Amino acid sequence: MANIDFERTPVARPNETKIFGTVETSVDFAKTFGKDVTLQRALSALQRGPGRFYRDNVIACDGDAADYMFFVVSGVVRSCKVFESGTRNVVAFYLPGDLFGWSDLKHSLSIEAASDTAVLFLKRNALLSLATRNSRVASYLLSATTNQLERAHEHVILNSKTAKCRTATFFKELWVRLGQPKYLDVPMSYQDIADYLGLTIETLSRSITDLERSGLISRVSGRKLLLQNRFALGRMMN
Amino acid sequence: MANIDFERTPVARPNETKIFGTVETSVDFAKTFGKDVTLQRALSALQRGPGRFYRDNVIACDGDAADYMFFVVSGVVRSCKVFESGTRNVVAFYLPGDLFGWSDLKHSLSIEAASDTAVLFLKRNALLSLATRNSRVASYLLSATTNQLERAHEHVILNSKTAKCRTATFFKELWVRLGQPKYLDVPMSYQDIADYLGLTIETLSRSITDLERSGLISRVSGRKLLLQNRFALGRMMN
DNA sequence: CGCTCATTTGAGGAACTTCAAGGTCAGTGG
DNA sequence: CCACTGACCTTGAAGTTCCTCAAATGAGCG
């Protein structure tokens, strides 16, 4: 498939309207790029979407031409690699406001919706040439990339710790990335998290139970958690 | 320490002259940046070094101001994190021709010589402002960063495979990065490799023995290896 | 309620680590 | 020339962590 399929029909699901009834069709770039009106216009001009995807929909396949970059408007996107054996690795999660996709596709990763999402597509070449003319865009692109590099390095370090420590660190980091809300509403499935942490879902579940017994977190309902003791959590993270 | 210490005296070692007697004092940027003379001059103008380091010398500390980027002239550089417990993670190896150091220091990684090395220092700000004026430099910076991001993603994926597979993949990748020489002269210690792969040195050693018994590699002498059967190696890598 | 899917729990086994000892090799000094 | 030393790597045996397989429980929805 040579192009991103913007028209890919989401699989119909019962709660469709709940999720997508209120999606904004215009995106607010002001948070990241300031109030430069010319710049806003330029960005809007090269944007396509937002595309809307249900959980587990494939946004871009391993093997797709990587002409577009992705900007997450809402929901969570995962970048992952699936092997013939059926095992899967989640390489990264992207949250609203994240821009990614410099090289994820060339190297046979697949971009998928980890929850119901809205994603904006930006033609890479256009973005690049805009960057040569606008230093604010250039430095944003660079910092977005280096942030992801840092995150990837953290990820490597994390995956050589114990299951309990990985789990604690993951929830803490997620909580921070989500803006430190009162309750942590985990937006992706435990299977996704397990594949991100290099654990089985059983081990992840046991680790969560263990963290709860230690009084570090508590389950409120379903995947809604309460981080109980941040200092202890920090110590756990080593 | 606010500045990189270019004068840091290497620990004297017996084979000093063997290693550094022939180090070039001018660096050939032509390979990566073409024959643009103006550009060559600009790059030379913002370069410091090459600094020369013996194995295990610290090139830049966790906590140093991250004003400089690094360009490996010869040898191997490791970027690593050491914990109070004494455990260590090697996050990346950099080989001759690699440019790195966008964010490695801010996030408390330490840059160290994994073998005797020569490293060039480039002031980040100067490099950045050069990039805004020269698109060749800009695109080189971007591709260097995205390559490292890709490599980091591969690293994450690798570390959730078996010890034997990690080891095979590591040697294969190293062999490719070194230009596919007849014999693979492993330039870093097995301890460094183990810390990179998230294994103990014992498990690494056992994996190598195992690979040798399987006929995939053979030990020529010390850390000089011969990759015997590339196809089988490829299959091993899954 | 009864379905499905996601998560939790348990028991046994495999992979890796830990601890401890032995081996190898280059440099050093008798 | 040969033993001695220290750094580095290899091997063995026991212990831990995590995985696998199997089953039970729970949550969400018609």
Question: pLDDT (tens digit, 9 = 90+) per residue, B154-207?
Answer: 999 999 999 999 999 999 999 999 999 999 999 999 999 999 999 999 999 999
> What gap in Å lies between CA B146 and CA A145, rounded to an integer?
7
User: Angle at CA B62, nearest 5°, toward B56 and B66?
Assistant: 110
Q: Name which of A37-41, B59-63, B97-101 the model is least confident about.
A: A37-41
Three-state DSSP class for residue B91 = strand
**Cβ distance of A141 and B142 shorter than 8 Å:** yes
- Weakest mean pLDDT among A32-36, A155-159, B153-157, B201-205: A32-36
Cβ of B92 within 8 Å of Cβ of A153? The answer is: yes
A156-165, A226-235, B10-19: which has the minimum mean pLDDT?
B10-19
The answer to whether the beta carbons of residues B76 and B103 sit under 8 Å apart is: no
Query: Could you give the percent of chain A with pLDDT greater than 90?
Result: 56
Mean pLDDT of B76-88: 94
Mean pLDDT of A23-36: 57
SS3 for B111? strand
A 10 A CB-CB count for B28 gives: 11
Q: What is residue A8's predicted lDDT score, i.e. its pLDDT?
A: 35
Measure CB to CB from residue B198 to each of A131, A145, A159 and give the nearest one: A159
Nucleotides of C under 7 A from a protein CB: 6-11, 15-20, 25-28
CA neighbor of A4 nearest in space, from A55, A66, A50: A66
Q: Token digits for B82? A: 């050491």
Percent of chain B clearing pLDDT 70 (strictly above): 81
Task: Single out the residue of A196, A190, A195 nearest to residue A208, CA to CA.
Answer: A190
Among A207-211, B16-20, B33-37, the range with the most confident prediction by mean pLDDT is A207-211
pLDDT at position A130 over 70? yes
What average pLDDT does chain B have?
83
Instruction: State the pLDDT confidence band at A63, using cuts at 50, 70 and 90.
Output: low
Residue A14: the pLDDT is 34
**Mean pLDDT for the stretch of residues A74-100:** 94
Residue A128 has a pLDDT of 85
Q: What is the pLDDT of residue A35?
A: 61
Is the pLDDT confidence value at A148 over 70?
yes
Q: Check pLDDT > 90 for residue B213.
A: yes
Name the band, by pLDDT with cuts 50, 70 and 90, for residue B134: confident
Chain A residues with beta carbon closer than 8 angstroms to that of B138: 131-132, 138
Query: B225 with B219: CB under 8 angstroms?
Result: yes
| pLDDT tens readout for residues B110-125 | 999 999 999 999 988 8
- With a CB cutoff of 8 Å and minimum separation 6, the contacts of B232 are B214, B215, B216
- Note the pLDDT tens digit of each residue in A200-213: 999 999 999 999 99
Neighbours of B188 (CB within 10 A): 21
- CA-wise closest residue to A53 among A116, A106, A110: A116
Q: So what's the pLDDT on residue A38?
A: 66
Q: What is the mean pLDDT of residues A124-131?
A: 85
Instruction: Give the pLDDT confidence score for residue B150 in this predicted structure.
Output: 94
Closest of B36, B21, B23 to residue B137, by C-alpha: B36
β-bridge partners, A71: A99, A120
What confidence score (pLDDT) does residue B172 get?
Answer: 95
Report the residue from A79, A131, A153 with minimal CB separation from B152: A153
B92 touches chain A (CB under 8 A): yes
Q: Which residue has the higher pLDDT, B27 or A144?
A: A144
Tokens of A170: 């993951």
**Residue-by-residue DSSP string for chain A:** --S--TTPPPPP-TTHHHHHTT--SS---HHHHTT-HHHHHHHHHTEEEEEEE-TT-EEE-TTS---EEEEEEES-EEEEEE-TTS-EEEEEEE-TT-EE-SSTTTTT-EEEESSSEEEEEEEHHHHHHHHHH-HHHHHHHHHHHHHHHHHHHHHHHHTTS-HHHHHHHHHHHHHHHTT--SSEE--S-HHHHHHHHT--HHHHHHHHHHHHHTTSEEEEETTEEEE--HHHHHHHH-
Query: What is the chain A residue with the closest CA to B90?
Result: A157
Nearest to B25 by CA among B120, B96, B135, B152: B120
